Amino acid sequence: MYVPSPEAVRTLLRDPDMRFILAGTFLSARSVRELSDRYGIPLATCYRKAKSLQGAGLLRAERTVVRSNGRPVTLLRAFLPNAEISWDLGRVLLTFSPEGRGREMAEVVGLPLVE
């Protein structure tokens, strides 16, 4: 199993769009179009950033469903091994502990995690 380095995660989390994509898929799987509509990210940008997150192993295709028009759509889900999300003094904190690397912390500010 690929486990991203803490530095790789920090680099990706510096991008607000990528934080929204991860936050939007942490609790439930969503399509790129849903993420684009929900967070106001241009569709092409959302696809590109979701692909980057998938390449880093932070986002995975959970399942493919068929829409009413017969077209398949892939639902994506955030994947952060041993991740915890907490609220501290008005900040959302994402704590992750990759296997064999000790405990690392990345702070994510202002993520809308409530479904």
- Separation between Cα atoms, residue 49 and residue 88, nearest integer Å: 27
| CATH code at position 77 | 1.10.10.10
In a domain? residue 47: yes
In a domain? residue 59: yes
Domain count, the chain: 1
Asked if pLDDT for residue 91 goes beyond 50, the answer is: yes
The more confident residue out of 52 and 101 is 52
- Separation between Cα atoms, residue 88 and residue 42, nearest integer Å: 31
pLDDT of residue 113: 43
Two tokens at 8?
Answer: 């790789």
Model confidence over 11-21: pLDDT tens digits?
777 888 998 89
In a domain? residue 114: no
In a domain? residue 70: yes
The more confident residue out of 66 and 111 is 66
Residue range(s) defining the domain that contains residue 22: 6-108
The DSSP output letter for 30 is B
Write down the residue that tokens 């849903």 correspond to.
34
pLDDT of residue 56: 81
Q: Which residues of 4-30 are buried (b: 16+ CB within 10 A; e: fewer)?
A: bebeebeebbeeebbbbbbbbbbeebb
In a domain? residue 113: no
State the pLDDT confidence band at 82, using cuts at 50, 70 and 90: low
